[in-house]
Structure 1
Amino acid sequence: MSTKFWIGVVSEEHVHIGVNGEFAQLCHGKAAPLRRMKKGDWIIYYSPKTSYPNGKTLKYFTAIGQIKSGEVYPYEMSPEFIPFRVDVDYIECNAMSFDQIKSKLNFYQTTSNVGLLFRRGHFEVSKEDFLTIAKEMGVSINELDVYI
């Protein structure tokens, strides 16, 4: 099974919660997007806003991590809200503006409406696009080669 590369769309505030807790939670807690990711896959978070739902516009890539076991599990945040999560090993990186690097990304060049793609909340990208974003976020490509 080959490694896949994903973009998850989450507010910056929620990304920080996930990074600090070493988990991913997508699409308002749905299990299906998480189940598409397997152990060893990679995720880069794109944050359209600083917070949800009324934060300031951001449009930055904000975190990078590798899926640990791939086991999806429910997590009770309150009795009324039990979202699903998957554990992630995050690596050190810097936030990077989508607008500054979009011309380098194949998924941007080949998608007629990238806004619709981001509204999905989770989508697969090529290894090439993943590495381009990671490099722009200050991640050593040599460091990632150990994993990829």
Structure 2
Amino acid sequence: MGIRYWLIVHPLDRARDLIAGGYAQVAWGSLEPLDRMGVSDGVVIYCPRRENPEGEPLRAAVQAGRVLSPEPYQSGAAGRSPWRVDVEWLPDAQFGYIRPLRDMLELTRDSKFWGEQLRPGWVELSRRDFEIFEDAVRRPAPDPSGFVLRALQEGGVYGPGRAQDGFDGDRPRLIR
């Protein structure tokens, strides 16, 4: 079976626990849809609120990652054993607010009441939607430092007098 993509819904205070613990679980710790997840499946955490039940609205994806566990497992004390899968979350994520993404996502496009499908606490995503969410939460790479920019302008990574393509002479050097 191929790689699948999932969005799970939690308030931010619970999502932080999942991220810190390196796992995913759905509301109430149920087995579904974790029993459908496989290694390398993509998972996005979406937070409609900061806290449950009446917390301040957030409406943002807060993390994305890939499933590591081949099967779900139960964790916790007797009587309260939620089902989980281990997930490798992005090392440093930012909030990906839903409003600027709504017209791009298949999940939300052409649906005024798209939030209704999130009521079970999870939904399967298309690959495209997963990639949009993943890009939204991934922090951009830092800008290169002034030192690096000067080094590239002065001689590139190949040094002064050496052309990038391996030829010397009057040919211009390309700096990529």
Q: TM-score range by the shorter chain?
A: 0.7 to 0.9
Superposed, 1:11-26 pairs within 5 Å as: 11-26=11-26
Superposed, 1:48-127 pairs within 5 Å as: 48-76=48-76, 78-91=77-90, 92-111=92-111, 113-127=113-127
* Larger relative helix fraction: 1
Give the whole-Å Cα distance in 2 for the aligned partners of 1:98 and 1:90: 19
* Larger relative strand fraction: 1
Q: Secondary structure at the match of 1:123?
A: strand
Q: Secondary structure at the match of 1:69?
A: coil
Give the whole-Å Cα distance in 2 for the aligned partners of 1:25 and 1:41: 14
- Backbone CA RMSD of aligned residues: 1.7
Structure 2: state its 5+ residue gaps: 141-176
Equivalent residue letter for 1:105 = L
Give the 4+ runs in structure 1 shifted more than 6 A: none
Structure of higher RCO (CA pairs closer than 8 Å, 6+ residues apart): 1
TM-score calculated relative to the size of structure 2: 0.73
CA contact (8 A) 1:22 1:88 kept: yes
TM-score calculated relative to the size of structure 1: 0.85
Alpha-carbon shift at residue 113 of structure 1 (Å) = 2.7
Which one has the largest radius of gyration?
2
Task: Give the number of equivalent residue pairs.
Answer: 139
1:87-110 CA-to-partner distances (Å, cap 9, x unmatched) read 111113211111121111112125
